[in-house]
Amino acid sequence: MILLYTNTNQEHDFLANKYEDYIVTDSQEKTAVVSIACGFEHREKEIPSFVFKESVIERFGLFSEFFRKILMGVLNTHDGALLHASSIVYKNQGFIFIGHEGAGKTTIRKLLNNYVSLGDDTAIIRIRGEKTYLYGSPLYQRTKRSYPNKRVLICGIFSLKQAKYALINDLDLNQQVKALSSNVFLSGLKEFNNENRKLSLTLFTLGQQQLVHNLSFAKTSPVSKVLKIFAQKPWQKKSIKNLLVQASTVFVQELQDHVVWSKGVADRDFLTQCLIINEHSWIFEFGSQRILKVIADKIIGNQEEAYHHSLVFKKIKQFKEIKVLPTIVVVRKENNFVIIDGNHRALAWYLHNKNNLTGEILVLVGDLKNNFKENSKIFAYL
């Protein structure tokens, strides 16, 4: 808690109005971490941590930035952080969006404008025990107002990247810490000892909690639907090891030691970026064209009972009967993804959802390791 001292009733009422949702009673003074004296020389019994000598009424913009820096220091030294982020609340869970300038924080807020926001430019987070919470922000941001004083458990922190599709996938510990480190604020105030060290420990803990994920999206993406699927935690009881065993094709076996795997959720447009594995039976039936979207169009336009046609239509029938999200295994190759397990499921799912243009899908994504040799036999199939 930050304690504010004012010199006049007018200043008191002004700040009380500005931070209406965040005012607490005098009985809670003992929990204050720091104090700020506004517009007056402090009395000896009330030695504040900081003094703002200007008029808070006339120089509120300056005071707001002054207050912001102090809040950064308090959070960074008390198991928290102030992130450069936007955020929303869905079903009493917090969703935080981080990224460099232009990554899409404002864009994604517009796509999700039906949800309560706890900040459009900053997000306040704190670790309490084994849980991490998102808090409403008292800071005046682009909307020129403070946000609701609300605390919710964090469902996920999403590092944004603009693409032609929507995909949420996990990041490893180093990637998570790096993403967070690029989007935190440091106060730089000498009054907060060990700020850097304590903040580093907080970011490492957040990474261990597996809270940070990649979110690729387009302005036309059904982001809210993908986030809703993610919030249901469809992967919770499925380890990567078990998923690879279930998808034990020759390609998965050959590649599993050469890639870093991550679990994810994608939209139907993601499938349009996927290639069918470069395997002889597909080449025999469809030629050298490997883009899933093109093959799907050929399947619809061709009524022959060819091998792959039959399997795809059999899967479509199963999807109509069983309401469950399918899983596919892909390997990222440059700007595309090659399906190494689940070609028929992917094609069937794409066609099954053709009319309503929706259809989220579970994805196991493999990223090639740096030591993967391009001249290896398996690389030819990619």
Helix (H, G, I), strand (E, B) or coil at 341: strand
**225 has a pLDDT exceeding 80:** yes
Rounded to an integer, what distance in angstroms lies between the CA atom of residue 58 and that of residue 49?
22
Band (25; pLDDT cuts 50, 70, 90): low
The predicted pLDDT at position 44 comes to: 47
Check pLDDT > 70 for residue 227.
Answer: yes
Residue 380 one-letter amino acid: A
**Cβ–Cβ under 8 Å, residues 258 and 360:** no
* Domain 75-221 class in CATH: alpha beta
Predicted confidence (pLDDT) per residue in 102-114, tens digit: 888 888 888 888 8
Determine the pLDDT at residue 148.
Answer: 81
The pairing of strands 80-90 and 116-119 is antiparallel
Domains 75-221 and 240-381 share a fold: no
- Distance CA(161)–CA(102), nearest Å, equals 9
The average confidence (pLDDT) of the chain is 85
Label residue 288 by pLDDT band (50, 70, 90): confident
pLDDT at 30: 55
Angle in degrees, 0-180, between the axes of helices 60-76 and 195-208, rounded to the nearest 10: 70
Residue closest to 120 by CA, chosen among 164, 84, 69: 84
Between residues 235 and 290, the one the model is more confident about = 290
pLDDT in tens, 291-322: 999 988 888 876 666 788 888 888 988 888 87
Six-digit token string for 94: 């917090």
**240-381 is classed in which CATH architecture?**
Alpha-Beta Complex (3.90)
CA distance 99 to 158: 8
Over residues 342-370, the pLDDT tens digits come to 999 999 999 988 777 678 999 999 988 87
pTM: 0.88
Q: Locate the domains of the chain by residue range.
A: 2-58, 75-221, 240-381
Count of C-beta atoms within a 10 Å radius of residue 304: 9
Q: How many helices (H) and strands (E) does the chain have?
A: 13, 16
CA distance 309 to 163: 30
